[in-house]
Chain A
Amino acid sequence: MNPNYTTIITPLDPGRVDACRQYLRDNAEPRPVGDLIECRPLFRFDKIASLHFCSFVILDADGEFTPSLVFEATFDGPREDFLGELLDVASEGMHEVYRHCADYPFSGRAAPQLVKEYLVRHDVGANTFFCGSPGRSVAQIRGENLVRDEILTFLSNRWQPGDAIPARSAGFLDEVRRHAVRGQDDSRWAEQVAPIPWEVRQRSAIVAAAAIAAFVVVCGTGIAVGALVNTLFGSGPLNLHGHIVGAFAHVSRIGAGVSSSLASWFPWIASHITVEPAILHILIALTGVWLIVRIFELFLTGWTKNPHDQLFINRFPLQIAVIVRYVLIVFLIGSVALAVISGMTAARSAGVEANQPGIGASLAMAASTIWRLILVCLCLVVLNYWATSLKLAVQLRPYDTVRENVRRLLLDIDRFAMVVVAAIGVLLIVRHMPFTVSSQIEAIARSAVFAVFVIVTYGTHWHSDLLCPRAHPFWDHTNAGDQGHAKSFGARRTHRTGSGERPKVRA
C-alpha cells in the first residue's frame, strides 16, 4: 500500500506572518527528549495512527504572491479520514493557526466539517512526492521497528563471553529467527511473507507490455499518417515499400564499391564469402552508415555534460542520431535475416543441381565446415574477451570524455562484430543443413522482413515529427525536480520553501 498525501496552501494575513511563525515554533514544533522527539500538547501528531510525516512551512511574500501557509502530510488511507483525525487531535492548534488565513470559516472549531472542507479546498496535491518506506503502512513500519528492537535485545543478551557463536551466518540468522521473531508473540507476524503488490511482481511484464504498446502506437500512427499522405499525393498507401527497395538498391551500389575495395585488399576473405552479393553489399553499406551515425552520436554525447547546455537545439540531433542508429540496427538484422534466407535458398539450389557427392567429398566438406565453425567460435571467444576488457576498463575508474567515447565506440564495434560472426556461423550451418525451405516459406519470410522495414520507417518518420515540437517537457520536469524539494507542487512558487518554517513530525 502506497501512502496518500496532501499539500494545503492557504494565503496568510501579511500582518500575522511573524506571529504565526512564532506560534508554530512554540506550539507545533516537537521537542527533543533524549534520543526521541515529543509532540506538543496542542499538536499530538503521534496520536494519528495513519500519519507518516507532516510539516508546516510559511512562505514569505514576494512580488507575485502573498505570504502563504503550507501544510503537507503523507499518511495511510483516505485524505478525508486523515484530516478528520487531524482536526480531532489538534483542533485547537489548527484553529489557532488557520484563523489568520484567508477564507477560514468564521464558525471555527464549532463546525469542524467546514474547517475540513476549507482544508480540502486548498489542497493542491503534488506532482511528485518522496516516500521513505514505499509500500509500507505506518503499522507495518512500527511492527518492523519492534522486531528490530527485539533482535537488538536478543543479540545484546544472548552471547556472553565463552558462549559458542554459531559457526556460520545461516546458523546465526536461524538463532535470531527462533528466539527474537518466532519466540515473541508481537513479532511472529514477521515470519509470514509480506504480500508483494502486483505492480512489483509483474514489473518486467509491465515494462515489456508498455514498450510493445508504445511501439505499436508509434508505428501504427506512422503507418496511418504515411498512408494518408501517400494517398493524398496519389502514390498509394504502401508506396513506401517501393522507396525502401529503391533505397536498398542505392545503398547496395555504395556497398558494392566498398566491397570491391575490400576484396582487392583481402582476397582470401572474399573467396570464403558465399552470401548473396546484393545482400552483402547492403550489409557493408549499412555497417558503414551505422558506424558514421554512432561516431556522430558519441561526439554529441561527449560534447558537454553541463545541464545548462542541454538545450533543445543540442539534444534534437542527438535524439535523431539515437533513433537512426536503432533503425539501422533493425535494418541490419533484417538484412542478416535476408542473407540467411538466401543462404538456405542457395543450399536448396545446390542440392538440386549438384550430383550426389561421394563419401570422400562429403567428409571433406564436413571437415571444411567444422574447421570454419571452430574458427567462428574462436573469433567469438576473442571478441567476447575484448568486450569484457573494454567493460572492465571503467569498472572502478571512469575515463575522461574522449577516451570514454572511444571505448564505447570500440565496444559497439566489438558487439557488432560478434553479431556478424554469429551470423556467419548461422549461414555456415544453414548452407549445410540437409533440409531446405520451401519457396512459400521463403517468400513469407522475405515479406515479413520487408514489412518490419516499412513499419519501422513509418514509425521513425512519425517519431521524428513528434520530437520536433515537444522535446522540452522532459527537461522542464527534470529541472523542477532539481530544486532539491520533496514535492513539485502545482503552484510554481512553492519551490521557495527553503526560507520558511519547517516543523517536522515523524510518526
Chain B
Amino acid sequence: MSTNVPESIVEGPHRGSSATATSTRRGWRATDGGALTRFLDKISLALKMVRYRFSSYIFCHLWFLKLVFTLLRPARPIAIFGKLVILTKMKDVREVLGRFDDFTLGEVIEPGMPWGAFLMTVDWNEQHARERELLQSVVKRDIDQQIIKKVVAEECRERITAANGRIDMVAELAEPVVIRIASDYFGVSPLKNDKRRMARATRNLAGIIMVNPPVGSKPWIDSRDDMVALTQQLLEQIAAARSAIHASPQTLLPDSLLTRLSVLLQAGNTPKWFDEDWIRRYLTGLVATGLATVVRGTAQTVDQLVARPDALKEAQLLAAALDHAEAYEKNLPGGASDIERRSAAERVARSRDALSHYIYEALRFRPMLPLLVRDCPRETIIANGTRRVRVMPSGARILAAPLAAMFDPEVFPQPWRFDSQRPLKNYIHFGDGERRCFGRYVAESALLEMVRALLRLPGLARAPGADGRIRYQGPAPYSLVLTFNKQTVGAQER
C-alpha cells in the first residue's frame, strides 16, 4: 500500500528493555560527535527541557496567564510585543479565529503533527472545506452521539463499581473511557491490545501537539515510538478493513469511522486526494488531538467543581434530575401520547442543558485548551472601527486565548464569579470559525456523561494531599484522585 508516512516514523525502532530503549534514543540522534559534543548536547537538551517544563506548567496551571491577561485587558487589549500578539477580548479572539485566510495555523501546528497533513494543518480554505466536508459525510450525528453516550455510560458504570470509595478519575475512568471511544467509535484498537499503553500514547501524542518537547528528549522519543506503533497498527487495520469489505457484507462490519471511511473509499467516485493514507492520517489526528483533550477537559471540569462545594452540590442535584428525566422518558408506557413523549424529551433536554451550563462554567476557569495560536502571514488590521484597532505585523504569532476571551467582562460580567446562568453560546471551549473543533459532538457527549457519572457519587471530594490535585505529564493530566461514599452508592444501587 502506498503511503505518505514520514520515513522517520516508519523506520523508528521499538522500545523494549531498558537497554533497547537506550539504543533507541541513540538511534534517533542525527549525528554522534565526540565527548565534548555529547556533553554540550546534554546541556543544551537540559536547558530546552527546563523551557519545556516551564511552558507545560504555564499551560496547565493557569494563574500566570490569567494574571497577564487581566493586566493587559484594560491597558492594552491587543498587545504587540515584537512579533508576538496577545489578544484579551472576546470579539478580537473570535475575529482572529474566524478569519481563516488571514490567520493561518499550519505553520504553528505542523511540528506537533509529524504523521502528515491533517485538518488542522490545511491552510487552504477550499481544501480545508472539502476535507472537512468529506469527514463530516461519514458522521451520523444523532446516532453517533447515542453510541458514544452508551459507550461512556457503560464504561463509567464498570469503572465506578470497581472503585472502592476512591478513584483516580484520570487513569481509572477518563482514559479507559476515551480509549473505548477510540476503539468502538473511531475503530482504532488499543496499541498491542494494551489499554495502559494506549493511554500513555494518547498523553504523549497530545503532549507534542500542545507543547512541543525538544528533539531528543524523553517525551519526544516516547511520542515518536507511539507514533510508530500507532501508524503500523492503523496501516494493518485499514488493510484488514479493505479485505473485510471485499469479503463480507457491509452490515456485518463494525460500525466505526474507520469502516465508514474505508467503505466510502471502496465505493469510488471520491476525490483523488482521498486514499488510504488520508484515512490513516485523519484517524491518527482524531486519536492524537481528541482523546487526551477530552481527558484534560473532564479532569479540569471536575477539579473546578470539587473546588466549589456549592456549585458541586447544585450540579449533583442537576445530574440526579437528568437521571430522573431520562428514566421517566424511558419508562413511558407504550400508549403514551405524543405530547407526553415530547414533554418528556424536552425535560431531558432542559436537564441536560442545565448540567452543561455547570460544566462549561467550571471549564471556563480551567479550559482544556487555554491558548489557541495563529500566524499572521500578511500585515492586516484587526478590531477595525473600534478604539482597539491595531495593525498586525506580517509574520506575527498571535495568541488568541479562549482563557482570556472567557474572562472578558464585556461578555462574561463579573468573570471571577462562578455563574451557571451564562449563555452557552458565549463559551469558546471548542474554538470558533471554520476551524472549530470537528470532534465537538464526541467531546461534549463524553464530557457530559463522565462528569455526570462522577456527580452521581455521594460525598464526592478531592482525596487529601497531593493525590487530590491534578498531576500532569507534560501538558496532559495523568492523575486526579477523588473519594466518595461507597456505602451510600451501594444503598442507592440497591
Contacts and interface: CB of A to CB of B under 8 A. Distances in A.
Contacts of B110: 168
A385 interface: yes
Contacts of A396: 381, 389, 391
A162 B390 contact: no
B273 A168 contact: no
B391 A395 contact: yes
Contacts of A170: 107
Interface in B376-397: 377, 381, 389-391
B396 to A, nearest CB: 15
A168 B390 contact: no
A160 to B, nearest CB: 8
B391 A164 contact: no
B121 interface: yes
Interface in A385-432: 385, 388, 392, 395-396
Given A385-B76, A392-B390, A396-B391, A164 B273 contact: yes
B107 A168 contact: yes
Given A392-B390, A395-B391, A165 B107 contact: no
A164 B127 contact: yes
Interface in A143-170: 162-170
Choose among A162, A167, A385, A388 the residue with the greatest number of B CB atoms under 10 Å from its CB: A167
A388 B107 CA distance: 29
B7 interface: no
A167 B122 contact: yes
Contact of B273 (A163, A169, A395): A163
A165 B389 contact: no
A166 B124 CA distance: 8
Contacts of B124: 165-168, 172
Size category of the A interface is 10 to 19
Given A385-B75, A392-B390, A167 B272 contact: no
Interface in B101-123: 104, 106-107, 110, 117, 121-123
Contact of A164 (B106, B107, B272, B377): B272
B32 interface: no
Nearest to A165: B127
Contact of B104 (A166, A168, A388): A168
Contacts of A168: 104, 106-107, 110, 121-124
Nearest to A163: B272
Interface in A470-496: none
Contacts of B123: 167-169
Contacts of B271: 162-164
Contacts of B127: 164-165, 167
A168 B107 CA distance: 8
B126 interface: yes
Interface in B342-393: 377, 381, 389-391
Interface in B81-112: 104, 106-107, 110
A377 to B, nearest CB: 15
Nearest to A389: B76
A169 B376 CA distance: 13
B377 A162 contact: no
Interface string A154-191: 00000000111111111010000000000000000000
A172 B110 CA distance: 15
A157 B381 CA distance: 34
Contact of A162 (B75, B104, B106, B273): B273
A167 B106 CA distance: 8
Interface string A370-393: 000000000000000100100010
A388 B104 CA distance: 27
A172 B389 CA distance: 32
A167 B121 contact: yes
Choose among B106, B381, B390 the residue with the greatest number of A CB atoms under 10 Å from its CB: B106
B461 to A, nearest CB: 42
A396 B389 CA distance: 9
A46 to B, nearest CB: 38
A434 B334 CA distance: 92
Contacts of B117: 167
B29 to A, nearest CB: 26
A170 B377 CA distance: 11
B272 A165 contact: no
B92 to A, nearest CB: 15
Given A167-B127, A168-B104, A168-B123, A162 B391 contact: no
A168 B117 CA distance: 9
A169 B377 contact: yes
Contacts of A165: 124, 126-127
A168 B273 CA distance: 15
A169 B104 CA distance: 10
Interface string B238-262: 0000000000000000000000000
A303 B449 CA distance: 72
Nearest to B127: A165
A394 B292 CA distance: 46
Nearest to A168: B106
A385 B80 CA distance: 11
A164 B104 CA distance: 18
Contacts of B76: 385, 388
A168 B122 CA distance: 6
Contact of B272 (A162, A172, A392): A162
B100 to A, nearest CB: 13
A212 to B, nearest CB: 29
Nearest to B122: A167
Interface string A227-260: 0000000000000000000000000000000000
B391 to A, nearest CB: 6
Interface string B454-476: 00000000000000000000000
B134 to A, nearest CB: 11
Contacts of B104: 168-169
A179 to B, nearest CB: 17
A79 to B, nearest CB: 42
A385 B77 CA distance: 12
A392 B383 CA distance: 13
Contacts of B273: 162-164
A166 B75 CA distance: 41
A167 B124 CA distance: 6
Nearest to A162: B271
Choose among A170, A388, A392, A396 the residue with the greatest number of B CB atoms under 10 Å from its CB: A392
Contacts of A169: 104, 123, 377
A432 B398 CA distance: 41
Contacts of A162: 271-273
A363 B271 CA distance: 74
B270 to A, nearest CB: 8
A163 to B, nearest CB: 6
Contacts of B107: 168, 170
Interface string B124-136: 1011000000000
Nearest to A161: B271
A163 B127 CA distance: 9
A164 B123 CA distance: 12
Nearest to B106: A168
Interface in B244-298: 271-273
A453 to B, nearest CB: 37
B259 to A, nearest CB: 23
Q: Which 4 interchain pairs have the tightest Cβ spacing?
A: A164-B273, A168-B106, A165-B127, A162-B271
Given A162-B271, A168-B110, A168-B124, 18 more contacts: A163-B271, A164-B127, A164-B271, A164-B272, A164-B273, A165-B126, A167-B121, A167-B122, A167-B123, A168-B104, A168-B107, A168-B123, A172-B124, A388-B76, A392-B390, A395-B389, A396-B389, A396-B391
30 contacts: A162-B271, A162-B272, A162-B273, A163-B271, A164-B127, A164-B271, A164-B272, A164-B273, A165-B124, A165-B126, A167-B106, A167-B124, A167-B127, A168-B104, A168-B106, A168-B107, A168-B110, A168-B124, A169-B104, A169-B123, A169-B377, A170-B107, A385-B75, A385-B76, A388-B76, A392-B390, A395-B389, A395-B390, A396-B381, A396-B389
